[in-house]
C-alpha cells in the first residue's frame, strides 16, 4: 500500500500517476445540500493538499443550469468530473474517502488492483 | 411496500383515469390504456418488444393525443434508438425537431466511476425535469432504468432512488412507461414491480416449432377490469399491435337476415334461405370432398349480391384457385376485377398464428367485406390444436362483432369416419356446420354432404349426394332403402328402375283413362240415340193427334149439315142456326 503523490511538474509521474499535470475539475451539485457542501469542502481540502496551483475547479449547480448535466452524463449528485487530463474520470459521492478520491483522480497508485 | 405508499391517494375512490396509448388493440385489452399520470411497468425478456411498446406509446402520444413525451434511454443512444424505430415508421428525430419529443440518452459507464461516500441520483431527476420542462411533456419513457444497477454499487440506495423516481413521476402526473428486464422466476430482474402498484404488463416472446409467437399479459392493473389472459401481439411495419382475444361477453349483434350459400340445393336444406348473416360456417371433411368448391360458390354468391368478400386461400395460389373454380362454373376472376372480391393467398407455414390473424384483421379493415372465406382453416395449424381453437375463437369473435359472415373449411384426416374428436372442440364456435364425406360403394367413391347443425333454423337432416359439374353444384337426395344409402351408380340404377316402374304405372293409368273415356262416349251416344228416338215418337204422336182432331171436327160438321137437310120439327129452334148457316149457303 504505497501512497506516493506524483512529483514531476509536467507529464506523467514516474509511478504512472497524473500527479504533475494540470487538472480541470468540475463538481456537479444540485443546490446547497449537505452532501454537496461536504463534497465541496472535501474537494477543496484535497486540492489544497495535493494539487496546489495545478488545478482549475468549476462548481456547477444543476438546479441553475440543468442543461449542463447531459454533456458530462451526470446522474449521481455530487459528481466530480476530471475533464483533463484525459481520459475523463468521475468520482461520485461526498468525497469523504480521501484515498479513493486520489485514486480516482489518478494521483495515487491503484490500491489493491481496483 | 409500494401498495401502502400508494394507498394514501384519496383519488383511488374515483375511477382510475386512463391514457390511451394509441397502440392498436392494447387500449381495448385494458379498457382504455395505461393509468394516466402514473408509471406502468412493461417487462419481458430480451427482444420481447418492450422498447417498441414504450416508443410507440410515446410517439402516438405525441402525434395523436397531443401529449409530448420524453424518451430517456439508458442502453441505446438517441441515434441508435431513432434508427431502430425508423423501421416502424416512427420519425423520432423529426418529432424531436418539432419539440414533440425529447430524446435523452443517459450513459452509464461503470469503468469511469469511483464511489467515495454518500450520493444520490438527483442528477437523473434534474435531467428528467429539464427534459419535461423543455416541451411540456405529459409522457415519459424510461428504457431501461434498471441499467443504473450496473453502474452503481449501492443497490439499497438505488432501490430507494427508483422508488423516489416513481413517486416523483406520479406527483408530476406524468404518464410513464418503464421497461424492465425479466428476471429468473420474477417479473423483473430487480423487482421494480414492487414499486409500481398500478399497472404491470408482461411481454413474452417464444418460439415453438420454429414459429415465433409474441404474447402480452396484463399482470396487474389496479382498480380496473382487464383481460387477464395472454393475448398475442405483433410488431410489424405498422408498429405494435395487440390482438384482443375474445371479448368476455357474448354480446354480438345478431342478424335475422339470411345470405344465400350460393348453392340452391344447400339453401333448400337450410330452410330454403341459407345462412344467417354474421354467422360462422364450417365445412369440414376429408380431402377432395368439395369443400373449396362450396367455399367458392359462397364467395361468388356474395359478390353476385353486390357485397364484398375476402377469400383467404391457404392451399392454392389465387391463379390456381380461380382456374380450378372455373371448371365447376365459378368465375371468381370477374369479381376480383370488379373489386368486390379480394383474393389473398399465403403459405400457412410462413408465420405464426398471430401473424395470420393480424393479416386477416388488416385485410378486413382494408377491404371491408361482408363475408370472409378461409380455405382451409386447418392449414393455419401446425402442431397445437388448442392454439387453433383459441385463434378460431378470436377470429370468429372479431368477425361477429363486425357482422361479417365467416365461411371456413376444415380438412379432416380420417376417412369415412364420423365426426372427428378434434372437431368437436371447435363445434361450439360454429353456427352452421356442414360435413362432407365420401362413401365408397360398388367400386365408386361418391361425395355426400349433410348439415350437422345449424343454429336457429330447422335445417334438413338429409344426407345429400354432392355432384359437381360445369354447371356448378347439385345436391341430390340419395336413395335410402333397405338400410343402405345408395349413391353414384347404385343410386342411378335404382333411380332407373324406379323410373321404369313409374313409366309403367303411368301407362296403365293412361290406358284406364282411355277405356273409361270410351265408355263414357258410348254411353253418351246411346243416350243421344234414345233421345232422338224419343223425339221422333213425340213428333209422330203430335201429328196423329192433330189428324184425329181434324177428323172429329169434319165429322161433326157433316152431322150438322145432315140435320139441317132433314129440317121440320125442330125448325124454330134450329132455324136461327140454319138461317145463318143458310145465309152462308145462299151467299
- If one counts every other C-beta atom within 10 angstroms of the C-beta of residue B180, the result is 25
* Count of CA atoms in the C-beta half-sphere (13 A) of A2: 6
Is B115's CB within 8 Å of A39's CB?
A: no
DSSP assigned state of B185? S
Cα dihedral: B258, B259, B261, B262 (round 10): 130
DSSP sequence for B3-70? HHHHHT-GGGGSPPPEE----BTHHHHTTSSEETTSEEEEEESTTSSHHHHHHHHHHHHHHHS---EE
Q: Is the pLDDT of residue B566 over 60?
A: yes
CB pairs under 8 A between A and B: 100
| Residue A12 placed within a domain | no
Is A87's CB within 8 Å of B112's CB?
A: yes
What cell was used for B95? 418529432
Predicted ipTM of the assembly: 0.84
B116 backbone dihedrals φ, ψ, rounded to 5°: -135, 90
Read off the pLDDT of each residue in A46-75 and give the average, rounded to a whole number.
90
| Residue A53 placed within a domain | yes
Is A35's CB within 8 Å of B118's CB?
A: yes
Burial letters for B112-122: b for 16+ Cβ neighbours within 10 Å, e otherwise?
A: bbbbbbbbbbb
| Confidence at B12, pLDDT banded by 50, 70, 90 | very low
Give pLDDT tens digits for B42-101.
999 888 889 999 999 999 999 999 999 999 999 889 999 999 888 888 899 999 999 999
| Residue A15 placed within a domain | no
- CATH number of the domain to which A97 belongs: 3.40.30.10
What cell was used for A104? 480516482
Sign, Cα dihedral of B18, B20, B21, B26: positive
The boundaries of the domain holding residue A61 are 23-105
For residue A62, give the chain B residue with the closest CA.
Answer: B126
Burial letters for B214-242: b for 16+ Cβ neighbours within 10 Å, e otherwise?
A: bbbbbebbbeeebbeebbbbbbeeebbbb
**pLDDT value of position B128:** 94
The bridge status of strand B405-411 relative to strand B258-259 is unpaired
| Confidence at B584, pLDDT banded by 50, 70, 90 | very low
B42 backbone dihedrals φ, ψ, rounded to 5°: -115, 115
For chain B, give the mean pLDDT. Answer: 81
Domain count, chain A: 1
**pLDDT value of position B2:** 40
Do B367 and B342 contact (CB within 8 A), yes or no? yes
**pLDDT value of position B416:** 43
Q: Among residues B85, B194, B201, B192, which one has the least CA distance to residue B148?
A: B192
| Residue A7 placed within a domain | no
Partner residue opposite B113 with nearest CB, options A66, A90, A94: A90
Q: Rounded to whole angstroms, how far apart are CA atoms B150 and A64?
A: 29
Q: Which residue has the cell 402516438?
A: B60
Under DSSP, is residue B345 helix (H, G, I), strand (E, B) or coil?
A: strand
Of the given ranges (A34-48, B153-167, B184-198, B503-517), which has the lowest mean pLDDT?
Answer: B184-198
User: Which residue out of A92, A93, A105, A107 would a mutagenesis test of the B interface target, given it has the greatest number of B Cβ atoms within 10 Å?
Assistant: A92
Of the given ranges (A4-8, B273-277, B565-569), which has the lowest mean pLDDT?
Answer: A4-8
| Residue A78 placed within a domain | yes
Burial letters for B264-277: b for 16+ Cβ neighbours within 10 Å, e otherwise?
A: bbbbbbbeeebbbb
- If one counts every other C-beta atom within 10 angstroms of the C-beta of residue B394, the result is 22
Q: Rounded to whole angstroms, how far apart are CA atoms B99 and B67?
A: 11
- Contacting residues of A for B109, CB less than 8 Å apart: 73, 90
Give pLDDT tens digits for B213-270.
788 888 888 877 766 778 878 887 777 878 765 554 556 667 788 999 888 888 888 8
| Residue A110 placed within a domain | no
Strand partners, B142: B72, B178
Residue ranges of chain B whose CB lies within 8 Å of a chain A CB = 104, 106-109, 112-124, 126-127, 129-130, 148, 151-152
Give pLDDT tens digits for A16-31.
666 667 889 999 999 9
| Residue A86 placed within a domain | yes
Strand partners, B362: none
CA B578 to chain centroid: 122
Q: Rounded to whole angstroms, how far apart are CA atoms A89 and B115?
A: 11
Read off the pLDDT of each residue in B388-393 and give the average, rounded to a whole number.
73
Residue ranges of chain A whose CB lies within 8 Å of a chain B CB = 28, 30, 33, 35, 38-39, 42, 62-63, 66-67, 69-70, 73-79, 87-97, 100-101, 103-104
Q: Among residues B66, B57, B63, B53, which one has the least CA distance to residue B136?
A: B66
- Contacting residues of A for B114, CB less than 8 Å apart: 89-92, 100-101, 103-104
Strand partners, B310: B342, B372
Q: Rounded to whole angstroms, how far apart are CA atoms B229 and B202?
A: 11
Is A91's CB within 8 Å of B114's CB?
A: yes
Amino acid at each position: 500500500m504505497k501512497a506516493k503523490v506524483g512529483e514531476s511538474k509536467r507529464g506523467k509521474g514516474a509511478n504512472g500517476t497524473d500527479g504533475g499535470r494540470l487538472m480541470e475539475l468540475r463538481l456537479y451539485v444540485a443546490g446547497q445540500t449537505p452532501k454537496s457542501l461536504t463534497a465541496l469542502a472535501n474537494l477543496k481540502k484535497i486540492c489544497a493538499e495535493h494539487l496546489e496551483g495545478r488545478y482549475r475547479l468549476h462548481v456547477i449547480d444543476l438546479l441553475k443550469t440543468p442543461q449542463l448535466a447531459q454533456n458530462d452524463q451526470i446522474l449521481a449528485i455530487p459528481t466530480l468530473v476530471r475533464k483533463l487530463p484525459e481520459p475523463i474520470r468521475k468520482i461520485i459521492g461526498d468525497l469523504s474517502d480521501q484515498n479513493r478520491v486520489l485514486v480516482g483522480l489518478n494521483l495515487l497508485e491503484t490500491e489493491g488492483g481496483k | 411496500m409500494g401498495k401502502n405508499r400508494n394507498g394514501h391517494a384519496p383519488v383511488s375512490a374515483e375511477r382510475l383515469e386512463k391514457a390511451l396509448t394509441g397502440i392498436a388493440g392494447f387500449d381495448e385489452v385494458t379498457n382504455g390504456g395505461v393509468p394516466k399520470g402514473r408509471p406502468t411497468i412493461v417487462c419481458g425478456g430480451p427482444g420481447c418488444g418492450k422498447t417498441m411498446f414504450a416508443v410507440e406509446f410515446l410517439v402516438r402520444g405525441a402525434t395523436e393525443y397531443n401529449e409530448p413525451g420524453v424518451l430517456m434511454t439508458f442502453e441505446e443512444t438517441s441515434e441508435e434508438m431513432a434508427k431502430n424505430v425508423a423501421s416502424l415508421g416512427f420519425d423520432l428525430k423529426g418529432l424531436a425537431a418539432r419539440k414533440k419529443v425529447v430524446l435523452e440518452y443517459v450513459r452509464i459507464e461503470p469503468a469511469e466511476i469511483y464511489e467515495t461516500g454518500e450520493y444520490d441520483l438527483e442528477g437523473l431527476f434534474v435531467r428528467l425535469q429539464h427534459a419535461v420542462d423543455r416541451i411540456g411533456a405529459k409522457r415519459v419513457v424510461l428504457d431501461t432504468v434498471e441499467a443504473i444497477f450496473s453502474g452503481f454499487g449501492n443497490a439499497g440506495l438505488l432501490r430507494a432512488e427508483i422508488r423516489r423516481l416513481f413517486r416523483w413521476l406520479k406527483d408530476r402526473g406524468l404518464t410513464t412507461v418503464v421497461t424492465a428486464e425479466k428476471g429468473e422466476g420474477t417479473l423483473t430482474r430487480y423487482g421494480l414491480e414492487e414499486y409500481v402498484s398500478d399497472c404491470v404488463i408482461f411481454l413474452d416472446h417464444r418460439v415453438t416449432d420454429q414459429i415465433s409467437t409474441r404474447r402480452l399479459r396484463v399482470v396487474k392493473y389496479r382498480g380496473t377490469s382487464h383481460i387477464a389472459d395472454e393475448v398475442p401481439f405483433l410488431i410489424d411495419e405498422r408498429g405494435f399491435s395487440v390482438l384482443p382475444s375474445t371479448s368476455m361477453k357474448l354480446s354480438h349483434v345478431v342478424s335475422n337476415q339470411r345470405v344465400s350459400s350460393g348453392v340452391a340445393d344447400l339453401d333448400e336444406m337450410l330452410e330454403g334461405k341459407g345462412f344467417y348473416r354474421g354467422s360462422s360456417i364450417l365445412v369440414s371433411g376429408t380431402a377432395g370432398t368439395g369443400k373449396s368448391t362450396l367455399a367458392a360458390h359462397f364467395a361468388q354468391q356474395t359478390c353476385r349480391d353486390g357485397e364484398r368478400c375476402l377469400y383467404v386461400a391457404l392451399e392454392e395460389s389465387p391463379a390456381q384457385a380461380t382456374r380450378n373454380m372455373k371448371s365447376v362454373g365459378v368465375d371468381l376472376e370477374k369479381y376480383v376485377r370488379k373489386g368486390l372480391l379480394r383474393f389473398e393467398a399465403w403459405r400457412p407455414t410462413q408465420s405464426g398464428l398471430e401473424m395470420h390473424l393480424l393479416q386477416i384483421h388488416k385485410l378486413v379493415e382494408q377491404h371491408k367485406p361482408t363475408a370472409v372465406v378461409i380455405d382451409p382453416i386447418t392449414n393455419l395449424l401446425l402442431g397445437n390444436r388448442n392454439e387453433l381453437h383459441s385463434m378460431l375463437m378470436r377470429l370468429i369473435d372479431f368477425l361477429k362483432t363486425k357482422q361479417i359472415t365467416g365461411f371456413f373449411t376444415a380438412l379432416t384426416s380420417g376417412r369415412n369416419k364420423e365426426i372427428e374428436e378434434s372437431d368437436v372442440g371447435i363445434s361450439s364456435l360454429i353456427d352452421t356446420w356442414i360435413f362432407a364425406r365420401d362413401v365408397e360403394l360398388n367400386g365408386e367413391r361418391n361425395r355426400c354432404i349433410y348439415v350437422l347443425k345449424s343454429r336457429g333454423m330447422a335445417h334438413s337432416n338429409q344426407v345429400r349426394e354432392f355432384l359437381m359439374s360445369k354447371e356448378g353444384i347439385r345436391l341430390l337426395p340419395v336413395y335410402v332403402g333397405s338400410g343402405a344409402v345408395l349413391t353414384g351408380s347404385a343410386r342411378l340404377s335404382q333411380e332407373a328402375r324406379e323410373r321404369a316402374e313409374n313409366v309403367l304405372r303411368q301407362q296403365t293409368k293412361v290406358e284406364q283413362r282411355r277405356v273409361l273415356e270410351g265408355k263414357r262416349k258410348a254411353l253418351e251416344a246411346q243416350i243421344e240415340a234414345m233421345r232422338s228416338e224419343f223425339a221422333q215418337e213425340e213428333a209422330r204422336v203430335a201429328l196423329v193427334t192433330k189428324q184425329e182432331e181434324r177428323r172429329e171436327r169434319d165429322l161433326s160438321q157433316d152431322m150438322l149439315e145432315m140435320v139441317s137437310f132433314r129440317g121440320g120439327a125442330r125448325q124454330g129452334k134450329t132455324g136461327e142456326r140454319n138461317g145463318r148457316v143458310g145465309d152462308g149457303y145462299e151467299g
